[in-house]
Amino acid sequence: KETDFLNQRAWIYYMQDNYKGAEADLKKVISIDKKNALGYRHYGFVLYAQKQYDQAIEKFKKTIELDTDSTYYSARTGLGLCYKQKKDYAKMAEEFANAIETDGWDQIDTEMGKLTPEELSYMHPALEAKKKEHPKDVIWPYADGICSNYEHKYIEGLKSLNEALIIEDNPYIYNQKAQVLSRLGQNNEALKACMKGLEIDSSNSALLDTRTMILCYEKDNAKKAKAAADTMLSRAPHKV
């Protein structure tokens, strides 16, 4: 289909910072098919890249209107990014929480890691609202715990991770819990968390790496432990 080709080429243009070329193709897509959700979604990101946030918001909202069940890197993430740039942090948090719900944590984790402490503080009410709406869904206390950890509020983060583990025994949550406990200086408890996670998945590379990091601390090898910690924090998957 012509629209498929134009959408694909527009995204290539976008990745090459050729925004004029991308816009030209996307205008053609929408003129051919006014219900082409992917075209509006691409157009939203092209406009966002050019700091045209209000226009981008319109395109992302149109995408959601046309395709509410989309599972690709979503328009809701785009909306959150736009509201972040407009410093409307309450709406940013609401849309990022919606993106977690529709696309999963993996799609939003990178953006969470870029938020300032002030911006992160708006995430907690949004995530709390989702927890009340979906009390048996592990993703909400887990996401709340990760946000607290990004703020270096490890006690609050640990509380949320424990709440998540009540809902589901999950090796990735145990991995996060182990890292938090280690940062709090509770290495014996951190090792126990690693072992519980490894009982579920003995080959989990994230848990194995975290255990190695903690053992470095246990051996008082501070330099090696710091290098291992830096590596872990840069690559540890936040899957659930």
- Which two structure tokens, joined as six digits, stand for 200? 């579920």
67: Cβ contacts below 8 Å, ≥ 6 apart:
37, 38, 41
pLDDT on residue 104: 84
Helix axes 154-167, 171-183, angle to 10 degrees: 160
Helix, strand, coil share (%) of the chain residues, nearest 5: 80, 0, 20
pLDDT at position 69 over 70:
no
pLDDT band at 228 (very low <50, low <70, confident <90, very high): low
pLDDT on residue 67: 80
- Measured CA to CA in angstroms, residue 92 lies from 101, 115, 131, 141, 194 at distances of 14, 11, 18, 19, 34
Mean per-residue pLDDT, 76-98: 96
| Number of continuous H segments (helices) and E segments (strands) in the chain | 15, 0
234 versus 65: the higher-pLDDT residue is: 65
72 versus 67: the higher-pLDDT residue is: 67
Going through the chain in order, the beta strands assigned E by DSSP cover: none
- Which two structure tokens, joined as six digits, stand for 170? 């999950």
Mean per-residue pLDDT, 151-170: 96
pLDDT on residue 217: 73
pLDDT band at 109 (very low <50, low <70, confident <90, very high): confident
Residues 80, 33: Cα–Cα separation, whole Å: 26
Helix (H, G, I), strand (E, B) or coil at 105: helix
Mean per-residue pLDDT, 67-86: 83
pLDDT on residue 215: 87
pLDDT tens digits, one per residue of 31-50 = 999 999 999 999 999 999 99
User: Residues 60, 46: contact at Cβ < 8 Å?
Assistant: no
Burial of 219 (0-12, 13-18, 19+ CB in 10 A): exposed
Residues 236, 185: Cα–Cα separation, whole Å: 20
Residues 162, 155: Cα–Cα separation, whole Å: 11
User: Residues 199, 229: contact at Cβ < 8 Å?
Assistant: no
pTM of the model: 0.83
pLDDT at position 185 over 60:
yes
Q: Which of 70-79, 185-194, 225-234 has the highest mean pLDDT?
A: 185-194
